[in-house]
A and B are shown apart, each in its own frame.
Chain A
Amino acid sequence: MSDSELPASVLAADIGSTLTHVALFARVEGVYRFVARAEAPTTLREPECDVTLGLRRAIKRLEEIAGRRLLNDQEEPLTPEAEPNAGVDAFVATSNAAPALQCVIVGLTDDLSVESAKNACAAANVWVAQTISLGKRMRQWDDRSLEQMRRTPPDIILLVGGMDTGPVAPLQGAARVLTTIFEGLAREKRPVIVFAGNQEARRPVAQLMSPDFEVRVVDNVRPNVHLESLGELQRELAEIYERIKLASLPGYRRLRRWCQVPILSSMEALSIVWRFMARRHEPPQSILGVDVGGATTYVGAARGELYQWVVGANLGTSFGCARVSELSPLGHVLRWLPVAMPADEAVHRLENIHLRPHSIPQTMEDLLLVQAIARQALLLTMRRMRHQFWSRPEIKPEEETNLPFDLIAARGGALVHTPQDGVIALTLLDALQPVGLAWLVLDWASIWPQLGALALVAPLAAGQVLERDGLRPLGTVLAPRGDAREGERALRIKIVYPDGHTVEDDIPAGVVQRFPLPPDAVAQIEVWPRRDWDIGLGRQGQGGKAEVRGGDLGIIVDTRGRPLALPQDAEYRRRKLQQWLGDLLDHGHRPV
């Protein structure tokens, strides 16, 4: 694409379940830059029920901020750029506002194939509403679940089961049951059947069901006991989500008409950005990306060409807080609060957040409760990530730690709308429990999904904006893996600043300590851990040197050990949380 064909300016939108973000990108002196952004509540539900209404409001706000006309007389994006300060050359959009795909998994037994199907669903915005195992002679098909499936049909039914050389008849039986359940129902109301079972049964099942259903056939998720094959099913689920759920967003057709390229799901757009971040360095970096949304939490890990991801469907900080509360005992949420809050008050606050998902905290207590929910949503999603990709059989699940990553890229309304960097950092440290050295960056402007969509139109522009304006570094985290009594020496650190001056300190176990290092600075550090601790620069107990980048919080040393074990005593735990938060907050706060 020649320079003249490249868009001079791009308007990009990301329509989330709670907020719609718009951003303006433009070429300034030959380089693409981020110009301005704005946001407005997403208008997904009654009485407005059209996402383009909230989008227009966000764009109007952007017009005021950027001093540029962006909508035409019909209130549609003004394209192409007609004159200076009027219009843009392209409009692109992403969205994760659509609810998760409702899925029922139908399997032959309740073990391998069903578990693999659940693993595949965890990588897409899919909500497994029900799992039915046929078992012996379908005894588990109770009438109520059949009737419920008929009355409120799921979006998809995932039919799995059988090794590739196994019997075909049980799957045919399941297919007949499903055909019977939905008999007489209008075709457009019937679920899509995704068959990911015994390959031998593909033809008979498809023949039986195709006249009545849209049937999609993919690779068997469990071709044999030792092999799990999820890739094709995951791609199919992502495609169905975009085709069925995204396209059913109120106002989607109009939005699609405005866009120059297809509307991407926010998760797909984010994966483009995170993979780009991983590849932009030589040698490639490892990246852990996290997005804590209102309704969905998304975690992706990129290492070179390898990309692994998990979606916490219905886990979030507003619409998704109900699901977080359902999956976590209240104590698990409240353990992250540095202040005492009676259980019933916490329950009421959480319920009110769910009832008014667009509202924002106005007190520190409320803010900390939202951060507690964000931690729990991330923990639940990270647990799935570990279980699916990183778990090792020789380690007990509760003793597992996360893998080390060079870069942790975080985003989400609950984080970027928090004015105190220290609060954000502690949420990420507690929930992600990074190990070794990791640079912590934030999507401060909520533009990463838009940049993923921009990459489809102008990859160069997306890369330039991300490099120059897309990352706000919080700092480098040094978090050794190990266990020690509080107060015992954990490590000795020597920091050589760019101007040559040096700081040396002994850091005890059980603290979070900060050393200033501005965002654009690089420092040399040398670390000597205690014998049984691992800082990720070599073997356990071995010290090492590294170059670290700065951030608004500088260098953060977290010697609380991994996996993080919070004190059992509630009062003492709160004091410790206050202390850790205080250590991170002592630089004052940044207005958002």
Chain B
Amino acid sequence: MAIVPFEPRLAIAASIVRRRFLPVPGEVLVHVGDRVAPEDIVAQAPVEGELYTIDLAEALGVSARRVERYLAVQEGQAVAAGTVLARARHPWPHRRQVVAPWASTVLALIEGRLFLRRDAQIRQLRAYLPGEVMEEYPHQGVAIHAQGHVVRGIWGSGGEGQGILVVMAREPGDLLTWEQISLRHRGMIVVGGILEDVRVLYRAQRFRLGGLVVGGMAAPVRALCQQFTLPVVVTEGMGRVPLAAPVLDVLVSAHGRPAVIAGAESQSGPELVVPLPAMGENTAKALVLARPIAVGMKVRLTRPPYLGSIGQVVALPQTPQETTIGTKAEGAQVRLPDGRQIFVPFVNLELLG
């Protein structure tokens, strides 16, 4: 039986490596062996400014063919904000002129429309993870090594954030309510069971939370999340799916500790990391790597009617088995918390820890 390796969705006190890359070649500011904090800038690069156009024909009130004669700049010319780009000398009081809204470079005049590009801006890359620079990729980025708990999300939105971890959920299925979010949570990463109320999100954004972590989320909230910059991580799936109990247990044990969170726009994918003090190579577990499933492992079930259930692998049948609806698949016998033992296809399992 060829068993597919599984990437653990929860790793406790593990050794973590996150590679951080610039979008374009630039300058790496740290070196191998340097200690870094999440907000430290590890690399930076000039990123080209936005392209924009100005319809000079319309602005000057002339035909596209005549625009060129009123042009006050040339293609390739760098212009400061406020520089006059074109001026039409109509009889007073109809004189019109167009100025550059930003420091830019003039690219081209095509059919009465002026194409410009804003000047380059410096893009800074933060460390994200508190730890040690393990590798340096010249002009590209670095690899940061740290130790801690990792909770991988199945979905995320927003960017990266950091803050003190605050666990609101007492039980895995507790709803996160808007009343629970207040100004004192500014800059903190809040953990809830299930998120169904869009008001939670509005308050979280308004009070500038560091991030949100929930087990399940309702569809309308998901749609709203994508409009906000707030980092949000969903660990189990969409709908009324409780936060996995092993995940909650780990996060409760880390309540009050600093943590980092990454949403969809992060290079690492959606995740929550609770960094721990360096434990030395001998005590920290191996790097979080995919590994085959084995008897005794804790697993998350990912398809109805068991979506969100946590179980333990009790047997690995050597041949494909039949599911309750008759499909044959390779999988594992899993014991649920209520004592039932069921067959679950490997493709419907995720490894926890």
Contact = CB atoms under 8 A, between A and B. Distances in A.
A48 B290 contact: yes
A41 B4 contact: yes
A381 B305 CA distance: 31
Nearest to B55: A139
A355 B300 CA distance: 15
Contact of A360 (B155, B238, B290, B303): B303
Interface in A176-227: 176-177, 180-181, 183-184
A366 B324 CA distance: 12
Contacts of B20: none
Contacts of B51: 143, 146-147, 150, 181
Query: Chain B: interface residue count, which band?
Result: 35 or more
A309 B108 CA distance: 42
A362 B323 contact: yes
Given A46-B269, A141-B53, A419-B325, A366 B303 contact: yes
Contacts, number: 137
B347 A359 contact: yes
B219 A360 contact: no
A367 B303 CA distance: 11
B53 A355 contact: no
B326 A419 contact: yes
Interface in A325-346: 344-345
Interface in B92-139: 107-108, 110-113, 115
A352 B239 contact: yes
B315 interface: no
A506 interface: no
B302 A47 contact: no
Given A180-B110, A351-B219, A360 B2 contact: no
A387 interface: no
A57 B306 CA distance: 27
Which of A141, A184, A360, A418 has the most CB atoms of chain B within a 10 A radius of its CB? Answer: A360
Given A57-B2, A362-B325, A355 B303 contact: no
B16 to A, nearest CB: 13
A138 interface: yes
Interface string B212-244: 000000110010000000000000011110000
A137 interface: yes
Contact of A147 (B50, B55, B305, B306): B50
Contacts of A589: 326
A592 to B, nearest CB: 5
A201 B241 CA distance: 58
A591 B329 CA distance: 11
A592 B328 contact: yes
B7 to A, nearest CB: 5
Interface string B1-20: 11011010000000000000
B348 A184 contact: no
A180 B290 contact: no
Given A46-B269, A355-B237, A362-B303, A180 B107 contact: yes
Given A61-B2, A137-B57, A592 B154 contact: no
A64 interface: yes
Given A348-B219, A355-B155, A361 B1 contact: no
A143 B114 CA distance: 11
B304 A366 contact: yes
Nearest to A182: B51
A429 B327 CA distance: 22
Interface string B34-68: 00000000000000101111010100000010000
B307 interface: yes
A348 B347 contact: no
B326 A362 contact: no
Contacts of B161: none
Nearest to B220: A344
Contacts of B269: 46
B111 A592 contact: no
Interface of A: 40-41, 46-48, 57-58, 60-61, 64, 137-139, 141, 143, 146-147, 150, 173, 176-177, 180-181, 183-184, 344-345, 347-349, 351-352, 355-356, 358-367, 417-420, 589-592
Given A143-B53, A349-B239, A366-B304, 12 more contacts: A58-B2, A60-B2, A139-B55, A347-B219, A348-B218, A348-B219, A351-B219, A359-B347, A360-B348, A362-B306, A420-B326, A591-B328
What 3 A-B pairs have minimum CB-CB distances, sorted nearest first?
Answer: A348-B239, A419-B326, A351-B238
29 contacts: A40-B2, A48-B5, A57-B2, A61-B2, A143-B52, A143-B53, A173-B111, A180-B115, A184-B48, A344-B218, A347-B238, A348-B218, A348-B239, A349-B304, A352-B237, A352-B307, A355-B238, A356-B154, A356-B237, A359-B347, A360-B303, A361-B303, A361-B325, A362-B304, A362-B305, A362-B306, A363-B304, A363-B305, A364-B325
Interface of B: 1-2, 4-5, 7, 48, 50-53, 55, 57, 64, 107-108, 110-113, 115, 154-155, 218-219, 222, 237-240, 269, 290, 302-307, 322-329, 344-345, 347-348
